[in-house]
Structure 1
Amino acid sequence: MLTLTSDAVQVIRTVTADPQLPPESGIRIQAGLNGSDTLQLSVAPAPEAGDQVVEDQGARVYLEPTTAAMLDEMTLDAKVDPKGDVAFTLADSTTGES
């Protein structure tokens, strides 16, 4: 199952803390369109049917089934640069490689 670093937890909680979003909001990760190898990340008000839900200290990540299988042994990290831009990265949980 996908795991989250403490930095990822903090960023996800900050991003989904908007009072206009429902309390069960999270980050949804899904495969890119047209068979691309890229992943799409978006704020979601709730999981979609069939999504795997990863929750850690109030941070929620929703994974569509194909993506959940692909990220099974991965760790999601997040960094915020001085301008406030967020970059999410994935690393293999077993080796630590990105």
Structure 2
Amino acid sequence: MLTLTENASSLIKNLAEQTPVADDAGLRISTTDAESTNFTVDFTSTPEPTDKVIENAGARVFLEENAAVALDDKVLDAQVDAEGSVRFAIGAAA
């Protein structure tokens, strides 16, 4: 299962709180193919019925079925750059 670093959890939670979609909003990650490394990332108010939901320290991540397969043994990290842009990174689980 995808795991979140402390930074990723904190940033996702903070961004969700600033997004006017819903109180239980989350970051949704999707892809067209389980073998793909091209992901679409959006904030949404609720997961799709087939999404896998990951919750960590108040952060919610919704994984579309293909993304859940592709990210099963990965770690999601996040950082804010000097311009204030959030950058997500995916790495191998330790």
Do they fold alike, i.e. is TM over 0.5? yes
Q: CA RMSD in A?
A: 1.7
Secondary structure of the residue aligned to 2:61 is strand
Displacement of 1:24 after TM fit?
1.2
> Identity over the aligned pairs, expressed in percent?
35
Aligned pairs, how many?
93
What residue in structure 2 maps to residue 40 of structure 1? 40
What are the within-5 Å matches in structure 2 for residues 1-98 of structure 1? 1-18=1-18, 20-32=20-32, 37-94=37-94
Runs (4+) off by over 3 Å: none
TM-score by length of 2: 0.90
Q: Which amino acid aligns with 1:20?
A: P
Displacement of 1:21 after TM fit?
2.5
- Gaps in structure 2 of 5+ consecutive residues: none
- Gaps in structure 1 of 5+ consecutive residues: none
| Separation of aligned partners in 2, 1:61 and 1:5 | 12
